[in-house]
Amino acid sequence: MAEDDGEERSHEPTDKRKQDAREEGRVLTSKEAMVFGGFAMATGLVMAGAALMPQAVALWRDYLRLDRAALLQDQIAARSLSAFWEILTVAVVAGLPLALAALAIQWGTGGLHFAPKALGFKADKLNPLTGLGRMVSVNALVELVKSVLKVVLLGAVALMVLRGYLPQMDRLWAVSPVEAAGVLGGALIRLMLAMTLVLLVIGAADLLWQWLTLHKQMMMTFQEVKQESKEQNGSPEVKGRLRQLQMEASRRAARQRKALPDVANATAVITNPTHFAVAIRYVQGDTRAPVILAMGKGPMAQEIRDRARKHGVTMLRSPLLARALYFTGDIGMEIQEGLYSAVAAILAHVYRLDRGEAGDLPDIDLPPELRFGENGRAEAPPDAR
């Protein structure tokens, strides 16, 4: 079947599609199957109560016997009230199993589901054109054909069953009420059994039709499957990008751990002082510019600081410079040219310390584009840590 856009519904419904349908009240159900369940239960009740038919006839016969004419009005009122309560009791006792039978049929076919969405107001239900469209739809035609066939089949079966009882029914006027009740009860049971079999066939056929119709409505186009997958699991492009970032982070962490032994050869370690740590090396005449030997963030930064203490490498606290080195450089690479002046000032301070000269750490000033916050954005944080 094609949609309005011509795309074919060729994919089986997903679990989410089925769950959404249940929440909307679109589950497998068959009115004919529930009619069969209720009628079958009624037939069973009639058969079980057949032995009580003579007593029931005698009871109703007593209701029609009146004693004295003077008390006629009082007798009619009293017996009418008594008959009302007896009829109500029988109706409740018989109606409860019938309702349970219908619920059991629904539970066995599509399950019992409470769907609040199906109770919501729908404006299109008030549209006359929409209602007219439902009246002349294929489903409406199918329902009409089913109703006609059901009436024809049940009428034919009733005629076939009752034809065998016509001679006996023709003589009911000459027998006692109890005997007449026995004949009518037998005919009624035979008739109900036959109609139950017919309703079984009709219910099974309707259940199959309803399943095919619901399954056809639940089928999905390729675009719907793709869109649902995107909503549940995210866009494939985004997922691919996330995997790529995860792999890059994993490779970066592996390189950083592999570079930890080189901290022993560093000239200085620049720290944040707690979040970042970058080990640099510069030997005049050996390298053109300072080179990053190791770098890390969080636990990796702590490991770099521990190794620096162990090997006696000078550590200097410069939050702006530590973040700039971390976010603009990589292990084994020379530092950015924009950081030459700041790193040169740091190294000069280190050389003075190595010669035993005292002095304060020089102020570090970086260009705006090399000022980074802890999240890597090119902006100076409100306070340097």
Please list, in sequence order, all residues whose beta carbon lies within 8 angstroms of the beta carbon of residue 326, skipping any fewer than 6 positions away.
276, 278, 295, 297, 372
Domain range enclosing 188: 15-232
pLDDT score of 281: 92
CATH code: domain of residue 357: 3.40.1690.10
Q: Which of these three, 193, 215, 232, is where a domain ends?
A: 232
pLDDT score of 269: 93
Distance CA 78, CA 291 (A): 112
Beta strands in 61-157 (DSSP E): none
Q: Which of these three, 186, 215, 232, is where a domain ends?
A: 232
Tell me whether residue 324 is in a domain: yes
Tell me whether residue 309 is in a domain: yes
Same domain (yes/no): 38, 132: yes
Same domain (yes/no): 130, 95: yes
Same domain (yes/no): 27, 132: yes
Question: For residue range 42-66, what is the model confidence (pLDDT) as tens digits?
Answer: 888 888 776 666 666 666 666 666 6
Is-above-0.75 flag for pTM?
no
Distance CA 219, CA 207 (A): 18
Same domain (yes/no): 60, 205: yes
Same domain (yes/no): 227, 282: no
Record the tokens describing residue 307, joined without a space: 């190794």
Tell me whether residue 61 is in a domain: yes
Is 179's pLDDT higher than 90?
Answer: no
Tell me whether residue 74 is in a domain: yes
Q: Which of these three, 169, 198, 232, is where a domain ends?
A: 232
Tell me whether residue 154 is in a domain: yes
Q: Are 275 and 301 in contact (CB under 8 A)?
A: yes
Q: Interior CA angle at 134 toward 132 and 139, to 5°?
A: 145
Same domain (yes/no): 48, 183: yes
Average pLDDT, the chain: 79
**C-beta atoms surrounding 191 within 10 Å:** 18
Q: Are 276 and 323 in contact (CB under 8 A)?
A: yes
pLDDT score of 57: 63
Same domain (yes/no): 80, 220: yes
What does each C-alpha distance from 171 to 24, 168, 180 come to in angstroms? Answer: 57, 5, 9
Same domain (yes/no): 111, 209: yes
Tell me whether residue 30 is in a domain: yes
Mean pLDDT, rounded, for 149-177: 83
What's the domain count of the chain?
A: 2
Tell me whether residue 247 is in a domain: no
Mean pLDDT, rounded, for 135-143: 72
Report the SS3 class of residue 292. Answer: strand
